[in-house]
Amino acid sequence: MTRELDVHVGGGFDALQARVGDALRRQREGEPVHEDHLTFVDWDAFARTMTAKRLELLRYLHRNPQESVAALARNLQRDYRRVHEDVELLTAAGLIARDGLALSTGYDEIRTVIAL
């Protein structure tokens, strides 16, 4: 089963409320609802989080789950401190899953919707 994450950039509280309301309606109608959403308040917040290096890290981690941050830094040939910072931020955002020291991504695809 492919796990997908919908990332929303902007859109405000009304858009969030509409997504939740739609999911609740579908569930009441008997449809199984299994959705994961991550919302950034605006483009600046998204851009501070999803840098090119962090996207590269996520792609690598998706293909190659790692036993630790140190192993990930070695395999990416990047400074440990920077990789640790990236992992902490991406974990807090829900983009990296941790099991003890082990790291993996919980999603096969990230779809991004940017409100204008």
pLDDT in tens, 63-91: 999 999 999 999 999 999 999 999 999 99
Q: What CATH architecture does domain 4-114 belong to? A: Orthogonal Bundle (1.10)
The rounded percent of the chain whose pLDDT value lies above 70 is: 98
What residue spans of 29-79 are helical by DSSP H?
43-49, 52-63, 69-76
| Alpha-carbon span 104 to 95, nearest angstrom | 9
Task: Please state, rounded to an integer, the average pLDDT across all residues of the chain.
Answer: 92
pTM: 0.81
| Whole-number pLDDT of residue 19 | 86
Residue 22 has pLDDT above 80, yes or no: yes
| Whole-number pLDDT of residue 2 | 65
